[in-house]
Amino acid sequence: MYKDHFISVILLAGGQGKRLESLIPKQFLSLGGKLLVLYSYEFFDSLSFIDEIIIVCDPDYRHHFKGRKKISFALPGKERQDSLFSALKKVDDDSDYVCIHDAARPFLEKIVVEKVIEAGICFQAAAVGIPEKNTLKIVDDHHFVTKTLPRKDLFSIQTPQVIKTSLLQEIAKKPSIPRVTDDVALLEENHFPVKIVLGSEKNFKITTSFDWLIANTLVSS
C-alpha cells in the first residue's frame, strides 16, 4: 500500500540533550563507534519506500549526512513543534505522508515502520506505542494522589508518527495552535482519530545517562 505514495521522513535532530548533561547534543555523540543520529538516518535511507528525508539540525552538523535519497535540512525551533513546522516547509510538493522520528531512538525495526506507515495511510494519522507497564497516578501540587489511571487503557507513545502531509500543513496554517509534546497530539486537538500501532521496547528514546548505558549495551551485544 505505502509503495503507491510519496513518503517523506522528518528526522528531528535539533535537541540540545540537556538531561544527558553533555556539551555536544546527544544525537551527535558516538554510540558504538557511530553517531547516534546516523542509526535512524541510515535506516530510513536504506528503505525503498521512503522518498525523501528532511533533517532538523544545527547547520554545523549537516556535513554528517550522506546517503542515496534526496535530503533537505531545516533549522531547529525553540520547541519540538516549532522544529516540526520548520521541516514541514521543506517537504516535497508531491509528499503524501510525513513519517516523523526522533533521532534519539536508534533501534528501529522495519516491520514496525511498515505497519505505522500503512496505518497512517488508512487513518490519516498513526503512532507507534507500547502498553504501559507501570501504574500511573495523577497527583496535585503537593504530590497527593488525586486519581489512579486504568493501566489497560494506557500506551507509552514512541516514534515514528505518520500524518497525512496536507492535513498537517492545514493545521500548521491555523492562527492558534496548542502547544503539544508529540506530533499526533496536533491531530487529537483537532478531533481527528489517531491509530496506535504496537511498537517495541527496544525503540526507547535515549534521554538520560542510564538510557545511554542501555543503548551501549545493546550495540555491543
The tens digit of pLDDT for each residue in 53-87 reads: 999 999 999 999 998 899 999 999 999 999 999 99
C-alpha distances out from residue 121 to 1, 93, 117, 174, Å: 8, 17, 6, 23
pLDDT in tens, 155-206: 999 999 999 999 999 999 988 888 888 999 999 988 899 999 999 999 999 9
Q: Indicate the pTM of the whole model.
A: 0.94
Q: Tell me what pLDDT residue 2 has.
A: 65
Instruction: Supply the pLDDT for residue 181.
Output: 85
| Total domains in the fold of the chain | 1
Output the pLDDT for position 1.
Answer: 62
Q: What's the chain look like in SS3? A: CHHHCCEEEEEECCCCCHHHCCCCCHHHCEECCEEHHHHHHHHHHCCCCCCEEEEECCHHHHHHCCCCCEEEEECCCCCHHHHHHHHHCCCCCCCCEEEEEECCCCCCCHHHHHHHHHHHHHHCEEEEEEECCCCCEEECCCCCEEEECCHHHCEEEEEEEEEEHHHHHHHHCCCCCCCCCCCCHHHHHCCCCCEEEECCCCCCCCCCHHHHHHHHHHHHC
Statement: residue 105 has pLDDT above 80 = yes
Contact criterion met (CB below 8 Å) for 135 and 211: no
Condensed to tens digits (0 to 9), the pLDDT of residues 14-56 reads: 876 565 566 788 899 999 999 999 999 999 999 999 999 999 9
- pLDDT the model gives residue 90: 97
Domain range holding 132?
2-220
- pLDDT, residue 34, reads 96
**CA–CA separation, 94 and 104 (whole Å):** 28
Question: Which CATH number belongs to the domain containing residue 186 in this structure?
Answer: 3.90.550.10
